Structures are given as structure tokens and as C-alpha cells.
Amino acid sequence: MFTEYDVIVVGGGHSGCEAAAAVANMGQKVLLVTMNMNTIAQMSCNPAMGGVAKGQLVREIDAMGGYSGIVSDKTMIQFRMLNRSKGPAMWSPRCQSDRMRFAETWRLALEANPNVDFWQEMVRELVIKEGRVTGVKTGMGLEIPAKAVILTNGTFLNGLIHIGEKRFGGGRAGERASTGLTEQLHALGFASGRMKTGTPPRMDGRTIDWSRLTRQDGDENPAKFSFSEETSPLSKQRPCYIAHTNQAVHDILATGFEKSPMFTGRIQGLGPRYCPSIEDKIVRFADKNRHQLFIEPEGWNTVEIYVNGFSSSLPEDVQYEAIRKVEGFENAKMFRPGYAIEYDFFPPQQLKLSLETKLVDGLFFAGQINGTTGYEEAGCQGMMAGINAVLKIRDEEPLVLKRDEAYVGVLIDDLVNKGTDEPYRMFTSRAEYRILLRQDNADLRLTEKAYGLGLANDERYQRVQEKKAGIETIRKLINTVSITPDQANGMLTKLGTSPLKQSVKAYKVLTRPGVGLNDLKAINPELAKVLARYDAETSAQAVIQIKYQGYIRKERELAEKMIRLDDIVLPDTFDYHRIGALSYEGREKLSRVKPASLGQASRISGVTPADISVLMVYIGR
């Protein structure tokens, strides 16, 4: 029934979809096996993409030719650029999505690709011959051959759903758990752990008194995620709202604590620290008598409402009674209760930087199975696993994005070298080179790589080349054109900054706080004439590069130093136990992780700077 596929992707979540797209767009045949074709790219929790650091990930996926950005743009109902009051390194795009359209658009995008085949079933077993994966076996007993397999099982592996004292197997509300794979992987020598996450109740928007909530609109001039011209910013948006819990809400929630799976110890898995349940919040912050809730529509037309901040696994009647004490929710009806889910994950130190497992050749893991949380974190891993599975079967070097090249690189490097004992989500603080890794320059950083892999088309590549040339021209111009006091002082006084005493180069004026390119254009006709040739994005990029050039240069220099360490290769066969001068922990960790380079070795937790010096001396010999 099946001929051999190049790659089989197990799971049609955010990770699996990006993996399948990458494989197919690189020209290889891929089979997406997923338990339920109707839930491809399902948003299990909040109907939103992006946010702080996650928005940067979506921009990077897009620059690499992935679909998350395009699908988000096509299905968003509101857009906001978060942290706009801070420097550009912190700007983070976030959108509110139409949950149903998001999933449909993803599915249609995959269906439009003739290299993607689909099969709806549960994969129960991997077929492994001589340490190499050669296919999968399904619940019905079908054996499907492939050269490489990517597991993206999300929250489904032995998933256990909790609502109060009720407990039942499931990978997500209304869906079966995946069984069999964890046990087989254990038998192969893999270690696994248990994590948990939770989701809030969904309410009936027709029964909420919106007039008592605070309205939160999207940006006046919304931007978008994708660098491609396939999508455009929203011309109309749906508002979100803000509400608050109060003491009465907390008191009712507390009546359910004795039945809480969290507090009675029935949930063993570790949850996401930055996404606590409402019961967790009222216990941990007992002195606070209210917590903010974001009331988010689930789509353009549906009346279903997501109550962001009210994640709970308390009994459904307690959730219901408590939420009706929130101002504006007095008569609210519930569509679905919140719940918590526990699932198996595989500590990611068992992976190479390519996301291929160290134990089984040709087997890749991506997404929540690696201990991460979030659609964006899952999507970018899926994309990288897809790319590397193709490179593997072509016998080519894997693509590893470095920490100064992409947040995606930071994420994978963190996972593989440090592991994680709680659900890992991306933050800007995880990236040491965040001034280099801005959301605005993801295309400049990554399009060329995507083009080399066949993931970005000629048009995208050309546009980036033109943008680069434009930025260079503008930078040169701003560095050479002089501005006289006569030209500048009116504008500078208006902006409340000191006037010029003598002529200076334009960049000196532009780097002053509050001065923009439009101000320079207005006072200098030569600049105005040249700048008129460039679009807003190119000009904005040039301005960022000029205004922050000192910081950018400093980070680049730091990164270069680290790259030199990354260039020193450590062979797979290196026997660290033989180097007595290494610390005991250093020897253990280095032997376990088997870093590919001295740079990677330096980032393994437990490996000290002294260990690195020892290795340098040893390699020098």
C-alpha cells in the first residue's frame, strides 16, 4: 500500500506541520501521519501567535520559508507590536488568531503541496534495523517505510487529563492519548520525564456584559509576521478585553482545593512556571486580591471566548461558580471547562544539534516532545528537524543555526546542552545577542540560508538583496552628508534637543533621541531625494542600524569571539574520561552530550571555564 517515503512526520501539530512543509518544499516526499486529520495545526490552548520572543521565532520561521507567519497573517483578527516603548531588540509581534481558520489554512497549505501525503492513524511503533529507523508501524498494524522519521507527538504521549478528581487518558480535550511509543523508546535506551500544562475555560460571548470590561484594541497601524508579499496587514480588527478576578472569585476557587489534582499531588509533572494556573496564582500570591484576565475572542465570527489567565484544573462546577463572580461574567455560560494535562517528554540532551537522536540514526524529535511549550517553539523545531532530515538522507552536513544567528539557534542549543526540567519557553533574556536577533532583521539574517536550501524563492531572495543594498546606500549617505545649523536648529529646538553650533554629519543628528529619518528628509533636500527611492521597511532598517550601531558592533565582536570556539571541532570519538585534568562533572557531562565543538562544550551546564582551558590545551597538543 505504501512505497518508501523520504521522511515520515508523526503528528500534525505545529511542529509536524512545519516539518512536513520543510521536507516537501525541499523537494522530498513526506508522509504526515496524524491521529486526527480534523485537528491538523490545532491551537490546543490560546488562539494567538507570537508575543515576547515568540514573535521573533515566527519571523525567523517565515524568513526560513516556513508557513507559521503566513498562516498567522492570513487568519489573525488583531495585531499588536509588544514592547514598542522599548528598544527595537525588545519589539515583539503578537496576533490574536481565528482558531478554526488557522487550522484550516495550515491544512490547505499542506494539501496544496504535491510532495505531502497524509495518513490518519496512530503510530504505535518505530521500525528499527541495526540502529537505524526504517519506518513506522501503525495501530492497525500497517508498516510504512521511510528513510527518516520525525516524532512530533506534542502532549499526546501517555497523555492524562485532569479536571478536579476526574482523570482520563487523552492527548488534548476530546482526543485520544498516544500509547506504545514511550515504552518502545525506553526499551531502546531513551530516558523520559513527565510534564504538565493547563488551559482555561472557554465562555459564551453572548452571555458576557462587555460594557463592564476594559477594551483593548489592536495597533492603529498593524504590521504582520511574514516578509513575503503574499499577505497584508489587517484593515479591520476585533478588540480584546481586560477583566479582573476579585476576592469572591478567589474564595470560591479555594473551596475546590481539596479536589485539586495539583494540590493533592495527583499531578506529578512539572508545569510551565510562566503560565501558572489561577489556583496556583492565588496561593503563590496570597496577598494579591485580584489578577488580570485577558478576554480574547476565538475568531471573527464565533462567540466562543478564551479567558487568558484563568487556566485551571479545579472541578468544573468550581470553575463555573468562580468565573461568574468576575465583573461582567455574572450571567456567563461556559462552553468548555479548563483542564490540566500530563504527558511524557524526552529530555533533549539525547539529541544532536540537528535534532536527530543520538541513539537511533535517522530518527528526529521536535516540539513539545522535547520539553518545550508553545506553538512557536514547536514550529521552529519542526522546521529544523524537517530540514535536517532531508540533509541527512542526502548525506549532507546538518544545518545548525548559531546563537548569534537566530532565536531558533538559541532554543535548540539551550535544549541540547542544558536540557530542561520544566516546560521551556522562549524569552528575550535567553538570547545573549538579542540586539543582533531582532524581529525586524530576521529576513536579512536568514533568507540567504533558506534560499540555499531551496526554501526561499528567487523573488524573496532578490528582495532581500535589494533591501541590503538599499540599507547600505542609506547608511553611507547618512554617514557622509552634512547638516548645517541653519537646516537643523528649528527642528532640534522643536524636539527639545540642543541646537547645533557647527555643521555635523547627518548620522550625528539621527542618533539623537526622538530624531527620525523624516525629520532629516524635511530639512535636507539631498537626503530627501535619495531616500524617496526606498520603501519604509528599508529606511526603518537603516535607521535602526545607524542608531544602534555602537551596541550592534559590540555584540558582533562578542559573538565573533564565541564563533572562534564554535569552529574548534571536537570529534565524536573523543574520550573525555581519559583527560584527568577535567573536573569530574565536566567529564561526565562532556561524555554524555558529546559536543560537536569547543563552543558547544562551553555552553553545557556543569562544564566550567577551567574545563574549557584544559580542552584547549589538549587540542593544541
Q: Which is nearer to ligand FAD, 113 or 583 (CB)?
A: 113
Question: And the C-alpha cell for 88?
Answer: 527595537
Q: Does 367 bind ligand FAD (CB under 6 A)?
A: yes
Q: What is the DSSP string of 217-274?
A: ---SS---S-SSTT----SS---EEEEE--HHHHHHHHTTGGG-TTTTT---SBPPTT
Per CB under 6 A, does 378 bind ligand FAD? yes
In angstroms, how far is CA 221 from the centroid of its own chain? 24
- Contact stretch for ligand FAD (CB under 6 A) within 36-44, 396-404, 448-456, 518-526: 36-44
Distance of alpha carbon 50 from alpha carbon 377, whole angstroms = 10
- In the complex, the smallest distance separating the C-beta of residue 157 from ligand FAD, rounded to whole angstroms, is 7
**Binding of ligand FAD at residue 123 (CB under 6 A)?**
yes
Residue 260 in contact with residue 313, Cβ under 8 Å?
Answer: yes
Grid cell locating 259:
479536589
Sign of CA dihedral 13, 340, 368, 379: positive
Residue 277 binds to ligand FAD (criterion: CB under 6 A): no
Q: Which of 306, 329, 346, 375 forms a contact with ligand FAD (CB under 6 A)?
A: 375
Residue 162 sits in the site that holds ligand FAD (CB under 6 A)? no
Ranges within 76-115 binding ligand FAD (CB under 6 A): none
Q: What number of residues does the chain have?
A: 621
We find the least distance from the C-beta atom of residue 576 to ligand FAD, in angstroms, to be 33
Q: Name which position in 79, 102, 106, 156 contacts ligand FAD (CB under 6 A).
A: 156
Does residue 337 belong to the site contacting ligand FAD (CB under 6 A)? no
User: If binding is defined by CB under 6 A, does position 612 make contact with ligand FAD?
Assistant: no
Helix %, strand %, coil % of the chain (to 5): 40, 20, 40
CA distance 149 to 362: 6
Tell whether residue 36 is a contact of ligand FAD (CB under 6 A).
yes
Choose the stretch contacting ligand FAD; rule: CB under 6 A; options: 73-81, 147-155, 400-408, 540-548: 147-155
Query: Are 440 and 544 spatial neighbours (Cβ–Cβ below 8 Å)?
Result: yes
Please state, in angstroms and rounded to a whole number, the distance separating the CA atoms of residues 27 and 476: 41
Asked whether 373 and 271 are in contact (CB, 8 A), the reply is no
State the minimum distance, in angstroms, from the CB of residue 582 to ligand FAD: 36
From the list 38-46, 430-438, 527-535, 551-559, the region that binds ligand FAD by CB under 6 A is 38-46
Distance of closest approach, residue 21 Cβ to ligand FAD, in angstroms: 13
182 binding ligand FAD? (CB under 6 A) = no
Establish if 428 lies at the interface with ligand FAD (CB under 6 A).
Answer: no
Q: What is the DSSP string of 95-114?
A: EEE-HHHHHHHHHHHHHT-T
Residue 21 forms beta bridges with which residues?
none
Amino acid at 195: M
Q: Around Cβ 438, how many Cβ atoms within 10 Å?
A: 23
Q: In this complex, which beta carbon is closest to ligand FAD, that of residue 13 or of residue 599?
A: 13
- How many chain residues bind ligand FAD (CB under 6 A)? 37
Give the residue carrying C-alpha cell 481586560. Answer: 242
276 binds ligand FAD (CB under 6 A): no
Q: Site for ligand FAD (CB under 6 A): which residue of 7, 8, 9, 10?
A: 10
Binding site for ligand FAD (CB under 6 A): 10-16, 33-36, 39, 44-45, 122-123, 152-156, 171-172, 178, 181, 197-199, 275, 341, 367-368, 373-375, 378, 425
